[in-house]
Every structure is written in C-alpha cells, then in structure tokens.
Amino acid sequence: MMKMRIGILGSTGSIGTNLLDVIKKNKTDVIFLSAHSNFKKLLNQAKIFNVKNLIITELSSYKKAIKFNQNKKIKIFNSFEIFNLIIKKKLDYVMSSISGLEGLYPTYKIIKFTKKIAIANKESIICAWPILKKELFKNNTKFIPVDSEHFSLWQEIKNINPKEIKKVFLTASGGPLLNFNIKSFKKITLPKILKHPTWRMGKKISVDSATMMNKCYEVIEAKNIFNLPYEKIDILIQPSSYIHAIVLYNSGFSKMIFHDTTMKIPIFNSIYSKSDNYLKPNNLDIIKLNNLDLKRVMSDRYPIINILKNIPNKYSLFETVIISVNDQIVKKFLNKSINFNDISKLVIKLVNHRKYKKYKSIYPRNIKKILNLNSEIKSEISKLIFK
C-alpha cells in the first residue's frame, strides 16, 4: 500500500499537533510542515516524522532555526512561494490550520498542490470563500471543513439540497462566562477567560469563545459552506459540547450529531475514509445525553451576536471588516488596554461605522483586496475607537 503524502500548514498549533498524533501509527509521508515562530517544536516534529521541508514565516525564528538545525537533510524556508519546488506531484491531503488572516494566502496557494484540503482556518472560509471555491473547482481539489460543528454538518448534509433543510443549529458551550454575573464583566481577568470549560484553546480564540464571536464566525462559515441563508442558521448553548449540530428537515425529520469533545474525531475522519482505519470506539455517554441543558443565546450576556443581523447574505468584503476589527479589539484586551466588557461594545460600534458600511456591497474579488483591507483597518483602528 502506497504511503499517503500530506502537508500541514500550522503544525505546531493544537490542530496540527492533533493531526500528527492521529497519523503517527499509520504509514504517512509528511512532505512539509509549517510554523510561524515555534521553530524548536517544528524541528522536533520534523525529527519524529522524518520531514525534509519546513517553512517558518517569522524572520528571526527562521534565522534561529537555520543555526539550530543539525540535520542537513532538512530544508528550511521562509516563504510559501516554494510549494512548486518541494511538491512535484499532488499531495493526497493538506491540513490548513494556521490561525488568523495570516492563514489565508497559504491556504489559497496550496490548493492546486493537493487532492484534498481540510481547512480549520476560519478566516479563509469567512473572507474568501468564493475565491477558494473557484480555486478548488479549477484544480479538482476536494474540500473538508474541520471545525467540529461544520464537520458534523458536512457529514450530515453535504449531499442534501439546501431547500430540504428548514434549520440548522450550531452549538456553543457558552464559554467560561456562561454562569458568571453579567454585572461583574468589567472585572473579568484574562486567566478567567482562558479557563474554557470544555476545550483547550489559544488566547485569541478563548476570548472569541467568551464573547461568542467565535460562534458568529461559525455561522458565517456555515452560510458559505452549505449555501444556506442566515435565517436558516441559529445557535444553541450546550454546555458539555457533546452535541455539535442539529438539523431540522422540511420533511419533519430532525437529526442531532454528537461526539466526544476532542478534535481528533473530525481530524481523523477528514484524512481517512471508513475503510482506511478506525479510531478507538467511543461509548455512548448517557449521562451527557440526559443532561444536554440546551438553551438559547441571550444577547444581554453575549451582545456581540447582534452583528449577525447586519451581514448581507451575498459575499462581500464586510466579513473581512468584522474579522479585522475583532482581531484588533481582542489584541487590545490581551494587551490590557481595554476591559472585557469593552470588546463587544467596540466591535459593534466599529463594524457599524459609516466608513465600513460600503464594504457590504463590494465583492471579494481577490486575496490581495482582502489583505489590503485588513492592513488598512489594522492601521486606523485606534483612531476610530476614540472618534
């Protein structure tokens, strides 16, 4: 049996690390790995999996890695422009798990070099879905979403006509502030935010989970991936994160998709077909099923969800505005420039700023326009906050 040939964009993060853990017992040839700055972890991964090509995008870390590396067989690059040098024939699978808009360009760039791409980078799907979809079709590359909610929906409705679907519900744990006194939100510290009840995540996504912005992102993703209007997508809180999605059909049937709280399940199923291999079987968690505690999302606790009311159903650059504004505001919270309560207020204020309304009617024609808009917002956000 031929070894599966794969590559990983963002191998030192949680998704990339989980993927490497999933494949370690199977015959897999890892052609390349990439990281932003964690070169020591990247070099260790290369040693374990016998990887010959590494990409490190942060310049000082790249230079340190060159000096630190003792294996002359390993080639270390500082750019994603080298795919045509290291990939001579299409890979079987690529995982795109670089976080943030930094992951957009490499995600777009790698599509033509792989038969299948699993995308965990939300920003790519949110800001550039029509561009990516065109590139996927052009290169006959199969796409699979990796977020647990979208993968669950993908398994259930990928071959279903959207007209047959009455409603889909994405679930959210509610984050660490689900039962926290709303009046005390101003006093919430970062350590409290980082204590997510069901998932281990980085700082940025932990904050987005606490505000519910992460779930807003997932609603936009679902609209794009499954070609559903926003009125057919809703959010429910399910504290244990055992239920990942619920689908209501116009036929009267409803389906609920659930699995254990581990990203290894969608990751494993994104790379292996049912006949390839199997994960260790899960037992049915009856206790969790008997205590789902499903509830609606309350906008007084999670006011940021109100931005979903103002997003057009058609593709636009306004989604990039939302991503870019939120990125910069969360950075200010992480830098202790604002308190937690300010995040939602400022994001809502800024995405509704007259300067950005025009982007609701501007189609995202290329990656450059998206990245230029992101840079523009990044440079002017502080001035707009205080206007």
Compute the half-sphere exposure of residue 34: CA atoms within 13 Å on the CB side of its CA.
28
Question: Could you write out the DSSP letters of every residue in 290-316?
Answer: TT---EEPPTTT-GGGGGGGG--SS--
Stretch 209-222: mean pLDDT, rounded?
95
Tens of pLDDT, residue by residue over 261-302, are: 889 999 999 998 765 566 766 778 899 899 999 999 999 999
CB distance 382 to 337 below 8 Å = no
Res. 96: pLDDT tops 70: yes
Please state, in angstroms and rounded to a whole number, the distance separating the CA atoms of residues 239 and 175: 8
pLDDT at position 27, please?
82
* Between 19 and 273, the higher pLDDT residue: 19
Stretch 52-80: mean pLDDT, rounded?
95
Output the CA angle 172-174-177, nearest 5 degrees: 160
